[in-house]
Structure 1
Amino acid sequence: MTRTQDRYSAEIDPNSRHRSSYTANNGNCVELAQLPTLPDTIAVSDTWYPDRPGLRGSKTALAQLTQAALDGKLTAV
């Protein structure tokens, strides 16, 4: 039986990692990466905590999250 990969078990392409252009060279930044087996999925990770799993979702969901942040619709708890 072959298991279908989901977005949390799929491997990240290490050559597709991109760091935020706002990185302050202190290791505290956001990094995006592509999942080659799931082309519509993006992994988002915090380089301050490299051992923690990254957030993974569709490109559309990431765009919506980014727009909500830009629009001030997200609040800290």
Structure 2
Amino acid sequence: MTPRTQNLYAAEIDPTTRHRSSYTANNGNCVELAQLPAIPDAIAVSDTWYPDRPGLRGSKNAFAQLTQATLTGKLTAV
């Protein structure tokens, strides 16, 4: 891991900034986004089905690119 990645995963999540996806099944299986106050340009994405697992963390720009690639069909599930 690079120092930047280590910092991303060491940074605390601000629980007041957690936002649950509005597209959620009634089984509680959804994703949440949260801010990392120590790293303003980063966010954490977690799976509420597995709350004890660490969330995926990265820059807001990286997640925007991932979302765009998914929406435009450039990234598909296999």
Scaled by the length of structure 1, the TM-score of the pair is 0.88
- 1:53 to 2:62 alignment: no
Percent of aligned positions with the same letter in both sequences? 82
The alpha carbon displacement at 1:10 in A equals: 0.3
What is the 5 A alignment of 1:24-63? 24-63=25-64
User: What is the count of residue pairs matched by the alignment?
Assistant: 74
Once residues 38 and 20 of structure 1 are traced to their aligned partners in structure 2, the CA distance between those partners, rounded to angstroms, is 22
**Which residue in 2 is equivalent to 1:66?**
67
**More helix per residue: 1 or 2?**
2
> Which segments of structure 1 move beyond 2 Å, counting only runs of 4 or more?
none
Scaled by the length of structure 2, the TM-score of the pair is 0.87
Q: Which runs of 5+ in 2 are unaligned?
A: none
